[in-house]
Structure formats: C-alpha cells, structure tokens
Chain A
Amino acid sequence: MSESGLNKRLAQIVGAENVSTESVDLLCYSRDASENVGMPDIVVWPNNTSQVSEIMKLANELKITVTPRGAGTCLSGGPIPTKGGILLVMTRMNKILEIDIANLQVLVECGVVWQDLNNALTPYKLFLPPDPASKDACTIGGCMAECSGGVRAVKYGTFRDWALGLQVVLPNGEIIETGAKTRKGVSGYDLTRLFIGSEGTLGVITRARLRIFPLPRCRLVMSAYFDSMESAGKAIFRVMTSDLIPSAAELMDKQTVEAVSKFMNMKFPECIALAIFEFDGSSLGEVKRRIRQARKLCEREKATRVDVSETVEESDRLWRARKSAGPALATLKPSSMHEDATVPTSRIPEMLTRIEQVAQKHNVLIPTFGHVGDGNLHPIILYDERNQDEKKRAKAATADIFRAAIELGGTLSGEHGIGLSKAPFFSMEHSSPETEVMRKIKNAIDPNNILNPGKIWAGA
C-alpha cells in the first residue's frame, strides 16, 4: 500500500488529527532518552482500545511494523522505530478509570502519567509504590513494558509486583485481558508477567489494573559518609540484612557527591562514599527507633559522619540531591550513557572496583551512584559525542561494564530494559536455549514480527 493509502486508512481509524507524516514530527519522534535514533514513517495517536485493535489488524494484514511509545523517557532505545513503520503513541489514552479503595486497586489507561496517578491517590492517603525517577513524565504503559523500578524498589519491588492484570492488544488485533481482580490467582499461565518487561514486543498494553498501598505516615532519611567504598559496602550489607527494612538504600561515589554539590549548590562533608537510607512506617517513634539502629550499624562500620533529617523538608532536600545525580554528572560532559547493570547486593563492592578499572582502562569518566540496596547501580559513562575517539572509548567501556556485571552473577539491566542499546550483549547473559524459548514465544504471538522488531536480542 502506498504511504498516502496507509495514511488514509489510519486516519479513518483514529481521525486525521491523530495521524502525522510531517517530517518535523517524524524527527522529534525518532529519539528517546538513549543514544539511539530511528525514524518512523508515520506517527499515530490512538484514543481507545478498539482503535489500537483496528490499527494492529491493519498493520498485521499489510505486514507493517508497529512500535509502541509512551512518553519516550526510555534509556535503552525501546520506543525507537528502527525499521520505520507506524509509531503508536499511547499518551492520549490517559484516563484513570477506577480507584477502588475497598480492594486497594486502580484501573488505568496505559497513557496515564505516573505522577498524575499518584496525585489522584494522595487525597485517599494511598500510593503506587514503584517510583521511577522519571515519574513526572513516564506513562504507566511504559513502566509496565519496562518493568520499571525506583529508589523504593528495595522494599516495595518493581511494577511486576504491583500488577494484577492487563488489557493487551495482540499483534493480530485481538484484545485479551490477563490476570484477575484478586490479589491471588493461579488460573493458568501468568500472562500478566509475560507482558510486563516485554518492552512492547509482544502486545500493546492498553489498560492496567494495579494494586495500591496506604501511604506510610512518616518517612525519615539518614545519610552516612564513609572514607572507603569497602566500609560503605559493609555498612549497607549490615543494614540490608538486619530487620530494619529500609524503604531506600542509595549510594553515591565521590565524583557524584562532588558533582551534585556543585550542581545543587549544597555542601557535603568530605567522603569517598555517601550512603542514603530511608525508613518509613506508621509512627514516628518506631521509624526513629529503626534509624537509631541503622546509625549504630553504620558507625560500627566506621562511618565518618551520620546525619538524620529531622524534617520533611530536609529529607526532600536530600532526595532532590540524590535525584539530581544523573543530571549533575551530565553537566561534566556534553553526552552521557546511563546504565543500570545490576549485581547481587553482596557483590556491590567488587562491582564498584570493576567500574573504576574500566574507567581507567578506557580513559573515560564513569562516576557511579545507584540503588545499592537492590544491587542496581547507575554507572554514568561521560563523553563528548562530537569527539569520535572518545565516543568509541565510551562504547567499549560500556561493554566492559556489562561483562563485569554478568561475571559477578548479575544482569544487564535492573530496570531500563535491553531495548537496542543492550541487544548486542544479550547473549552474554542468556544461553541460546534460553533465547530460543523467548524467540518461540515471540513467534507464537507475533508470527509476522511486526511489533517492535529489532529489540532485546540482536538481529531480531
């Protein structure tokens, strides 16, 4: 079918105002927050599930590729339409359909923005715990497709742990409902979890039913400074294996602390590592008791200084500092790659050493921070994309970091997904029979390989 013929058919489905082939639009939809680029042939904004279903039927019939996209905050190239075709932007499906307080769950359309959902829950003193840093922008659909996490994953888990069921449009246009409204359910295969983390390669998620949780009445933050990575690592290990259950356990290395200090104009004590813990609970007394215990554990591991934020403002200030880590580091060089290699928590100190060695070997800056409580580090590889040699070294360093994570028994991605960026390394982590099982699943659901091809494993 000619491009204008396709344009017309799509316009019949969603309305002409929800289709664009203007080159400026195509260009602006060719990027996400990663280094990848790929131009769609046509951008389509569906408004409801039946439109998505019609679009998929048409695409399947014509064998045109379709790439789903939420807010495009992905850090691994997932929503980049490498093979052109239709870019399906889900952001206009953004209604919160149900807030079911009695059963502590919500039903939302996939284009709802994380922060909008939580704003709607706050008056009921409820919240959706997994909290990606991109929450002001990212959509629930994107979070499902990437199985996103955040700083509180250490206590509350990732999106996978909060999903009860999904409405999914399959590549052939059929609409299915996975899961159940109940908290428990073992009726058949767990299709919900099959689609979660599938990076838009198996189906288009149109709705999600999610569990929600009572907002903890109080949260306090503690920061502990160390003069060696080793003692920071030990202190974190002690806190994580105690019964104190922090709701966040983060680490920033010296370079990160310095960059944040400059960027946010905040003073921090001299240190090699800064660990930030958050504790939440229903009473201040009880949270304070846990913080006192955690302080003792850190002091026992030779923390040079421990501060407890007494007020919400102080806690917010520290979180703002932590959340500015990526951007603060990004000011050091024009370009950056934000990785999320994850290792078992006990291997964190080794992983930090390996990252340092990689940085030296390739002569690039790789400051590191991250969710140490769950082993999820964010090494930031800094470079100037206008300098070809430095760009090459940065890429080589990234590959070495992945290798190190796998060798330490970890995974390529804790929360950002494989997408395009990590597809060349997929076989480092997965044996060919494993990949073959995944391929077979993909083939069974999407025999024409039209849905987000080229992602997750190389050559797909």
Chain B
Amino acid sequence: MGIKLPEELEIEVYRCFRCGYCRAQCPVFKVKQNESWGARGRMILIKSLIEGNIDATSAVVDRLYCCSLCKACETSCPALVRTSDVYERVRESLVEQKQAPLDKHRSIAEKILAEGNPFGLPRAERLSSYQHKNPSSAEVLYFVGCVPSYRRPSIVRSVEKILAAAGVEYTALGAQELCCGSVLMRTGQTPTVKKLAQQNTKRFKELGVKKIVTVCPGCYLTLKVDYPKFVEDFPFEVVHISDFINQLLQSGKLKLTKQVGLKVTFHDPCHLGRRFNIYEPPRNVLLSIPGLKLVEMPHNRENSQCCGAGGGVRAAFSDVTSKIGVSRMEEAAQTKADLLVTSCPFCCLNLDEAGRQAQLLPVSDLTEIVAEAL
C-alpha cells in the first residue's frame, strides 16, 4: 500500500534531485556507508511509496525509522528540501496504516500512557527526584522532563539551585507532570501526543503560569511547535533553559562566582541548534563561568554532529546510536577538552554512555556546570 502526503510535502520529495550532497552529513549514513540508510536513500524509498511501487516492508520501515531527525541533511541540501518534516509526516502516515511504529516505539507509548514516562517507571517516583516549590503567584513553570526526573536527577537539583540563586519564583507539576510526548511525535504516534498535550496544557492553565522553561530541547520543540497544533489555545511562552540562564546572567540576577578551571567543548543539540538556531546563548553562559575555557569541535553550530539518540533511534537501533555517539566523543577528545558540555539531558545521557564505553572524556549538562559555578 502506498502513502499519501499533503501536496506541500509531496513536492519536497520530488524536489530532492538525488544530488547526494547529504551523504557527507548524515550520521546514520556515515555509520552504515549504504545509500538506503542515508537521506537520499530515504527520499528514494518515500517517492517509491508515494508512487505505490513498493510496499512498506519491515526493511523499508526500518530505514525510515533509523533517522534521528537531526536535520544535518537539510543544512547540506542545496535544494533546501525539508527532509525532516517529510520523514515525520511519513512516519505518521505509516502509523495510520498500521505499518509502524516499531515495537520498541509502541511499547514506549504504552509506558507513557500507563505511567506518564517513557521508561514505565512508577508515576510517583517522578516527584521524589526533586522538591518543587509551589507559590501560587509563580509565573514561571519549570517543566522538568522525563530524562532528568528518572535518569539524571543531578540536572534537576542543578536547575533548582540556579533558579533559587537567581531568586526566580517558579512552580512545577510534580507527579502531575506527564511526558511531553516528544518521542511519540518523532515516531509518528500523533494521536497519543494530542492526548498528552491536552492534559499537560490543562494543568499549565490551572496553575495560571505564563512562561514554561524546559531543560530538554525535545520538550522545548514539542511544547513550542507541536502543542499549539493540538490544543485550541496555548497562551504560553516556551523558553529553553540555556536562553533563560543567559537572560538571568545578562540582567545581573544571576552571578557565577566560583572558578571552574576546566577546558570544555560544547555539543550543540540538534533540536536546539539546527531546529531553532539557538547556538550562542549556551556558549555565552559557559563563557560567563570564571576560569572556564571553551574550545570548539570542528563540527559545531549548524555543522554539529548529532549524538545519535534522537528520533527514536536510540530505542530501536541502539547499535547505530552507540557508534554515532562514540564518533562524536572521539571528535570531542581530539580537542583535548576535560569535559564535554551539552544543553540537552538526552544528548548528555547518550554521550556520557558513549564516553564511558570508549573511555573518553566525561559529559555534563549545561545546568550542572552552571550550578557548580554558583
């Protein structure tokens, strides 16, 4: 069975003129060295699906899901084809036709529906990972996210410390917080995201907040871009923590005084950098830390190389993720930095694991190193 895309996205598929420029950028292609796992191959497969020349066999579905939606192909694409928009819509369409998602992704959706997080861990444990304050007057909501809550609690503690030091009055949803649904959005499971969007939005409204600060670029993207599509009224300003801290520093509300005598390199998360052009705020924050030296990797900013985890790839193709992660950490090691800093808990988790596996440098989230400098 073929697939049908909206005309504006179908045109994008036909606009791909198979120049192959994206070969040099696609992290999955670099690992697999096989056209069918790269951006151009995916576009060829999608066109064949549209024209009904092939079926969505499991081999095809694998190729279409083994893509981290990192947008590196888009930066190199001379025709500016919106590949990642096409991929997301294709996945959605495959799910509608019950030819996707992959088992691993389906099980994540089940866990989120059952416990509100992708790990299927008890809902109540989300609260235990931080103490949230709840002044009813707070205009700021700190959206904690699942990875910090369950996998990297030190990020939560760091954010709390930073917000307290800057005297920011904020609130949080505690055990009521639900997964934002980013991983489901990226894997085509839109109807479930819609439900999560409605429930989370209802709670944001009950608290009467105006601004939502997220630490995870995945949450940031989903709340900022996807939620407004799913709920009628989403009157919130969504801010990423790197931007937020940068503003606190510039307005003098936050001061970093402690020396951190480290040489660090910064990894741009794809959902923050290529998606929103947020390149300088995290760097400004790092440069405000006394004693810290920042060195760049050859692949930085719009040319940054993906950590390999996004788009559902880590869940379903862990071997690919781990190879991409190790290659990124090798690049980081070549800068002779003591530490790699990123501004995404998911990149942080993934690169930290890759770094340990290859015995390379340690990895911190931006919030963790900022908290150290307080």
Contacts and interface: CB of A to CB of B under 8 A. Distances in A.
Contacts of A138: 20
Contact of A33 (B18, B35, B60, B63): B18
Contacts of A263: 80
A33 B43 CA distance: 13
B35 A72 contact: yes
B44 A31 contact: yes
A318 to B, nearest CB: 16
B36 interface: yes
B34 interface: yes
Given A72-B20, A327-B79, A22 B59 contact: yes
A54 interface: no
A73 B15 CA distance: 16
B63 A330 contact: no
Task: Give the contact-size bracket for chain A.
Answer: 35 or more
Interface in B16-63: 17-21, 23-24, 33-36, 40-41, 44-45, 48, 54, 57, 59-60, 63
Contact of B17 (A71, A72, A115, A336): A336
A336 B18 CA distance: 11
A379 interface: no
Interface string A325-337: 0110011001110
Contact of A20 (B15, B21, B34, B60): B34
B19 A25 contact: no
A443 B181 CA distance: 63
B204 to A, nearest CB: 36
Given A22-B59, A31-B44, A91-B33, A71 B79 contact: no
Nearest to B12: A334
A73 B18 CA distance: 7
B41 A331 contact: no
Given A28-B41, A29-B35, A335-B14, A23 B59 contact: yes
A29 to B, nearest CB: 6
B76 A136 contact: yes
Nearest to A20: B34
Contacts of B21: 134, 136-137
Contacts of B33: 45, 91-92
B358 interface: no
B11 interface: yes
Contact of A134 (B20, B35, B45, B60): B20
B18 A330 contact: no
A330 B15 contact: yes
Contacts of B76: 136
A28 B20 contact: no
Interface string B63-79: 10000000000001111
Nearest to B19: A33
Interface in A1-56: 20, 22-25, 27-33, 45
